[in-house]
Amino acid sequence: MKLQVVGCSHHNASVEMRERLAFSPEQARDALSRLRQLYPETETVVLSTCNRVELYFAAESAERFPSHHDVVEFIAEFHGLDPIVVFNELFERTGEDAIRHLFTVAGSLDSMVVGEAQILPQVKEAYERATADDATGPLTHAAFQAAIRVAKRIANETAINRKRVSVPSVAVADFAKQFFERFDDKQVLLIGAGEMGEETLRYLIDEGAKHITIVNRSADRAHELAKRIAGEVAPWEDLKRLLVKADLVVTTTGATEPIITAQDFRQIHHDRAQHPIFILDLAVPRDFEPAVAEFTGVYLYCVDDLKDTCQANQRAREKEWPKAERIIEDETAKFMAELHHRATGPTIRRLKEQADRVKADELERLLKKLPNLDDDAKSEIAQTLGRVVNKLLHPPLESLRDEAHSGSHHGLLDALKRLFQLKD
């Protein structure tokens, strides 16, 4: 059996390279179709996210199985890149290391933010897409279903997923949720359309936020974000008017000076009639002057207010890391043992069946020559022959099981097939 993963991630490739190697859902389907034509006996899954691009391969015994170089050339050709440039960006894992890597990815221990919740749905989606396109099979079914089980074990048996460590996730889970009981009836104003604002917005939507307005100096970027996620777009000139109506404000612009000064906020505060407002200023430099926090009913938090919680949560997660690693090691060993049993089981079964047939034939021949034996004697002879056969088979079968457990059974398996003339 062959198992392999070739790819790159935030650990070894720049964001620019990951963008060049990424597969959209449509491209992933096209890639799966091409790979199925090139390697019809090989099962394939394409996993492509903002932080990783990985191609998983598995086969029972494919004569035409893609090598590391084959995969590099395929990806390079698919994206119109130089294979030499691509080669240095892609890692390879095989056999047990490939399974351990998959389990680590699904369990979010390989993520940029360890414990983040997005990766498992992405793994599921990649597997389901490959299955729908008839690119998976028994080995990938077993591997990816096991990976999903491992991720659930990590989530249930450790606290590694429960402590938020990114600024946007802490902003929503540890600050906004302490202030608001619900989000579906709140007016959310997002100022800026960058990555941090987008991530924060996703967390708010997960918590039920529905009434979202986006303002950005570049209206096109605001429209792109609203189309990609949710929300209505308003012109930058309406910012002060929108602040009068907002319950929750997230601001993440790249401005070099505050976009709202204390003087600006004075009229806004008057028009709000002291209605409480919660502001997450995630911009560096800050978008709101610190003095805005002095107004009654204003709850203003900046990145520095969130960092202490991020760091405390990170330390708490690090304590949980060994537990998660033990789960991955246990599940990897279990999966590989089952996989090797699956590989050696048919041969062991055929060998025993062949031995039983030989024993039965010889017993029948002997009993015909000794017609006067009573039933007890016949039984004793049958048991003796059985013990002889079992003792002869025990050493090679035990050696096969030992080597299968260590993952190096192929040579002995082939030797047994040849020695005993076992047919597949």
Q: Which residues are catalytic?
A: 50
154 backbone dihedrals φ, ψ, rounded to 5°: -60, -40
Distances (CA, A) of 242 to 204, 211, 247, 263, 386: 18, 12, 10, 17, 88
Is the peptide bond preceding residue 395 cis, with omega within 30 degrees of 0?
no
Pairwise CA distance, residues 55 & 124, whole Å: 14
Q: Cα 273 from chain centroid? A: 48
Task: Reduce the DSSP state of residue 156 to 3 states and report it.
Answer: helix
Q: Which residues lie below 8 Å from residue 85, measured CB to CB, with a gap of 6+?
A: 76
Please give the Cα distance from 86 to 70 (Å, whole number). Answer: 12
Identify any residues that bridge with 47 across adjacent strands, giving them in sequence order. Answer: 54
In the numeric block, the tokens 């604002």 are attached to: 197
Beginning with the edge strand found earlier in the chain, give each strand of the sheet holding 211-215 in spatial order.
232-233, 211-215, 187-191, 248-251, 277-281, 298-302
C-alpha span between 164 and 115 (Å, rounded) = 8
Beta strands 211-215 and 187-191 are: parallel
Which amino acid is it at 74? F
